[in-house]
Amino acid sequence: MTPEYVSRRLLLLIPALFGISIFLFALLAAAPGDPFEELATNPAVPPEVRLALREKFGLDDPIWQRYLHWLVAIAQGDWGFSFVSRMDVDTLILQRLPTTLVVIGASQIVAIMVALPVGVLAATRPYSVFDQVANTLAFVGFSLPTFFTGLVFILVFSIQLDWLPFVYRADVPGSGWPWLWTHIKQSIMPVMVLGLFQGGALVRFVRSSVLDVIKLDYVTTARSKGIGERKVLTRHVVRTALIPVVTLIALQLPAVFSGALVTEQIFRVPGIGSLLIASMLANDTPVVMAVTFVSAILVVVFNLIADFLYASLDPRIAYR
């Protein structure tokens, strides 16, 4: 990987992000809806107010003009102003970010912690009972949509057993252990729902990746040299097999920012995902634009990181 290559890839990001921003902006501008629609149905609000607000927030300007405004502002680090909350968009996002990072981050960790050992073990004993069970569960895990598992969890753990709360509160009073315990208790369901969903797919990915490697000649050679099975597995098989898994995980990381739309809604987790949904429903375009654009940036950047990682992990691959 030469420095020229890296800088070339970085430069290419700029037109890509430009294109994405134009596309997103045009799409949002073309979408029907009005952030002040609630005022329209309220007889007590004179229509002039609504029209004045539209003008004040520049909603009546032509699209290209609005895009240029947005571009100039974003170049100065100004993410815009929410129509609905009348506060800066970056403040709104930063308020929601910690919760999303904690909940989605935890679910990713759960997914990885479950998927790695299960996937590797399943691959070392293909078609054993363990493999069959793991495979079936993984299949169930990623086939069931989160809105379904989420509701089942609520029915079982909140309503039948009354163990866990199903309303997530980001702002739990108190401190110390009770505070931490409350947080853990309310996070269990959303984290498990997301973790199982992502873990299911990951198990199958790890398993097939390990299966590919375990049959290779160099593994047989390692075994015949008399290296212990455990060492063969960890040093030789898993290390090679995990290269594609690492890239897959790198590609999933932007989701840690953009949140989980459905799960956040079900458990009222005040993360980026629920902010995005609420903003879409309220036609709060500056917020929608900011969240989707940041997600787009992250996806592009993490793609790049995955490429670089791949090259540095796998010496057979070289970019020029």
Partner 1 sequence: MGASMKERDLRGLIDQVKRGRLSRRGFVQRMSAVGIAAPFATQLLVHSGVAMAQSRDTYKPTKRGGGGALKVLWWQGPTLLNPHFATGTKDQDGSRLFYEPLAAWDPEGNLKPKLAASIPSREDGTLAADGKSVVWKLKQNVKWHDGRPFTADDVVFNWEYSKDPATAAVTTGSYKDIMVEKVDQFTVRVLFSQVTPFWAEAFVGTRGMIIPKHLFSEFSGAKSREAPTNLKPVGTGPYLFRDFKPGDLVAGTINNNYYLPNRPYFDSIEMKGGGDAVSAARAVLQTGEYDFAWNLQVEDEILQRLERGGKGRVELSLTGNIEHIQVNQTDPWTEVDGERSSLKTKHPTLQFKEVREALSLLVDRDSIEKHIYGRTGPATPNFLNNPERFRSKTTSKEFSIDKANAMLDAAGWVRGSDGIRAKDGKKLKFVYQTSINQPRQKTQAIVKQAAQRAGIDLELKSVTASVFFSSDVANVDTYGKFYCDLQMYTTTMSQPDPQVFMDQFVSREVATKDNKWSGRNITRVRNPAIDKLAEDAKGELDPVKRAAMYVAMNDLVVKDQVVIPVVYRPGTAGLANNLRASISGWDNNTWDLSDWYKEG
**Axis-axis angle for helices 285-313, 89-124 (nearest 10):** 40
Site string for partner 1, 229-268 (x = CB under 8 A): ------------------------------------xx-x
CB of residue 290 vs partner 1: minimum separation in angstroms?
Answer: 14
CB of residue 129 vs partner 1: minimum separation in angstroms?
Answer: 39
50 vs 236, which CB is nearer to partner 1? 50
In whole angstroms, give the CA distance from residue 182 to residue 165: 9
Site string for partner 1, 174-213 (x = CB under 8 A): ----------------------------------------
In whole angstroms, give the CA distance from residue 75 to residue 284: 21
User: Applying CB under 8 A, which of residues 244, 270, 286, 289 lies at the interface with partner 1?
Assistant: 270
Place of tokens 């032509």: 62
**Which residues 61-90 are close enough to bind partner 1 by CB under 8 A?**
81-82, 84-87
User: Applying CB under 8 A, which of residues 6, 109, 152, 281 lies at the interface with partner 1?
Assistant: 281
In whole angstroms, give the CA distance from residue 92 to residue 272: 9
88: which strand partners?
Answer: 81
For 187-223, the DSSP string reads HHHHHHHHHHHHHHHHHHHHHHHHHHHHTSHHHHHHH
In whole angstroms, give the CA distance from residue 70 to residue 47: 27
Per DSSP, the three-state class of 88 is strand
59 vs 301, which CB is nearer to partner 1? 59
**Which residues 28-67 are close enough to bind partner 1 by CB under 8 A?**
32-34, 36-53, 56
Amino acid at 51: L
Amino acid at 103: V
Site string for partner 1, 125-154 (x = CB under 8 A): -----------------------------x
Contacts of 85 (CB under 8 A, 6+ apart): 92, 284
# of chain residues touching partner 1 (CB under 8 A): 52
CB of residue 93 vs partner 1: minimum separation in angstroms?
Answer: 11
159 is a site residue for partner 1 (CB under 8 A): yes
81: which strand partners?
Answer: 88
Interface positions with partner 1 (CB under 8 A): 32-34, 36-53, 56, 81-82, 84-87, 92, 95-96, 154, 158-159, 162, 165-167, 169-171, 173, 265-266, 268, 270, 274-275, 278, 281-283
